[in-house]
Chains A and B, each alone.
Chain A
Amino acid sequence: MLRIFATLRKEMLVLWRDKSGMALLFIMPLFLIILMALIQDAPFKDFQDVKFDISIVDDDHLQLSESLVKALTKSNKFNVSIKKDLTQAREEVNTGKTKVLVHIPKGANLQMEKHASVLVSKLLKQLGLASDTNTSISLQKLNISIYFDPTANKTFKNAIQNALSQFVAKTETEFILQTMMTQLGSTTSDESNPPFEDINFINIKEVSSNTEISQLEKVANSVQHNVPAWTIFAMFFIVIPLGGALLKEREDGSLLRLKLMPGSYLHIQLGKVLFYVIVCVIQFYLMMLVGIYLMPYIGLSSLHMGSSPVALFVLVVCIALAATTYGIMIGSVFRTAQQSLTFGSISVVILSAIGGIWIPIYILPPVMQKIAQISPLNWALTAVNDLFLRDQGLLFILPNILKLLVFSFVCMFLSKWAESKQGRG
């Protein structure tokens, strides 16, 4: 035990004096999680939660366009601004000043009225409520044009088009019903109490599948993804100070002395692993505190950490173990600091990219989702999400914990093998 704790103390002193290593372990993740949570906040929000700026050029100025503008404004999903000149408005879209432009052409209302009239006449005739009228008039489709900023992505376009289609359909239905009432000679309608106000009777409401946590109204928001994701990334980035420290030991000969000492070298490695596992665990919980207490101050949601603190602690220790042993493996396998730092940092970036750290894996294509399964960072993040978002316990995350432990043993085995290969030349 003396050898293990002496090594732990020694590692603490070495890291304490390594200012860049300390910054890499504690300052870098702090900036990363704040920056990434802020950057990814908007894309993470449901399109329904975001207000889009939309310009409308109304060349008709009649009931149809007024109803549409009113519906869009009332929906609380769009910031509507009315433009007069189509050419100028299109130029604004082209230069990115406006993201979306809707053009209602002149005569749109009249065309809509005719269309509604024909439809209602046909219907009333079929019901035997109207005499013969000319229902064979063929009308051209009414085109409302929509212009997008050329840089707008497909998801954004689809979201806007779907929302607009919804409003157009509602306005069209109201037109038809009003025409029908007019033709039937109804007098019940008055301006203050329109009969079709609640035309959308059926409402689709999202309910949490876990009744125990429904009141928490948790969603996979930017904070909920980025805080644990980039913390896991930073934990694995321990490969840089740890791998570097190991190579430094080899280069300055101190590793040689450690191997010349009586007693098992395993004790020294255990002390090293123990220390860096503690550092990673501290790193994780510090970042979680940032997620809980600092994020709301910068306008983001507070982090929810689930309801299984014991399971979380076990998981964090396993992630820390995987990260530490990976660092030891990198420091043992490579012979120069240059090789170790390059491979270490690039491999962690790649494993994090494929593991869903940068963006959640459900956004990735199916092939990448399968590839993600090989990344230890993905096992870690999946298990954290299981605890944080699904409110699961230790049993549920056990498969990922086992994967992380197996990964740690493989890393330690490879380190030992590499060390044994590197005898004194």
Chain B
Amino acid sequence: MSVIEIQDIYKTYTNATSPALNGVSLEIKQETIFGLLGPNGAGKSTTIAILSGLIKADKGIVKIFDKELNKNLEDIKKQIGIVPQEYALFPTLTCYENLHYFGNLYGLKGKALKDKINNYLELFGLEKNANKLISSFSGGMKRRVNIIAGILHDPKLIILDEPTVGVDVQSRKMIIDFLKEYQKENKISILYTSHHLEEAQEICDEIAIIDYGKIIVKGSPTELIKNHQVDSLENLFINLTGHSVRE
């Protein structure tokens, strides 16, 4: 059974000369980690923005949990956790205050919320910094809080946009290990985008490479490496998307 089903979606932004998405189709199966990879401006963030309900596709069908997204947006939002690329936290609130506020917005309250926040803070090694302002946090710490804020309501599907960008090796390892563990334990699905191809190779069951608004290849990393006769995902990526630097 598929968790996300995207059929032939198109999106062109106002005043843009070329489409951001040019007939993208994807299927993400239940209880898998799916990596959407691509160079800058390839269409990853636009795909995630459409899946999050922030923008609408010009054409095509998007289904999440077998329900059409545009018609069931509120219902679907309750079941997905989105971790945006931006830190998306209030810098003048403490870590705990941020998480408590987002928990309240998810409808959580009282001891249950408090326990949940404390549990996650401990899991991400942030318990000692719970009462410090977010503005005093390092990039890696903010990324970890950002992830907690996206999963407080126990979603069945997590969408992460570049969750490890700009963080140190230790924080990245912690995040990746957590995601693998969390996915296994809770039997959920994860869609994530990244520039770190080694990381994607390590945790993804399936990947798709997108460029110029089109999916150019998809499949399991092992299969793709084998079929394209390359030694790593990075070489496959370079072979398919070219050497030119993107804006």
Contact = CB atoms under 8 A, between A and B. Distances in A.
Nearest to A261: B105
Interface residues of B, number: 32
Contacts of A6: 100-101, 104-105
Contacts of A416: none
A7 B101 CA distance: 7
Nearest to B48: A424
Interface stretch (A115-123, A250-258, A377-385): A250-258
A256 B105 contact: no
B105 A263 contact: yes
A14 to B, nearest CB: 5
Interface in A405-425: 423-425
Contacts of B13: 425
A261 B77 contact: yes
Interface in B48-107: 49, 52-55, 74, 77-78, 82, 84, 86-93, 97, 100-102, 104-107
B109 interface: yes
Contacts, number: 83
A244 B78 CA distance: 30
A299 interface: no
A113 to B, nearest CB: 84
Contact of B149 (A18, A257, A423): A257
Given A423-B55, A424-B55, A256 B106 contact: no
Given A257-B84, A262-B74, A14 B90 contact: yes
Nearest to B155: A262
Looking at chain A's contact residues, the main secondary structure is helix
A17 B97 CA distance: 13
Contact of B105 (A252, A258, A424, A425): A258
Interface string B99-130: 01110111101000000000000000000000
Interface string A68-84: 00000000000000000
A254 B106 contact: no
A2 B54 contact: no
B148 to A, nearest CB: 12
A7 B86 CA distance: 21
A260 B54 contact: yes
Would you list the 9 A-B pairs with minimal beta carbon distance, nearest first? A253-B86, A6-B104, A262-B77, A257-B88, A253-B88, A262-B78, A424-B49, A17-B92, A260-B82
Given A3-B104, A10-B90, 11 more contacts: A3-B105, A6-B100, A9-B101, A13-B93, A14-B92, A249-B90, A252-B86, A253-B86, A253-B87, A257-B82, A424-B54
Interface of B: 13, 45, 49, 52-55, 74, 77-78, 82, 84, 86-93, 97, 100-102, 104-107, 109, 133, 149, 153
Interface of A: 2-3, 5-7, 9-10, 13-14, 17-18, 248-249, 252-254, 256-263, 268, 423-425
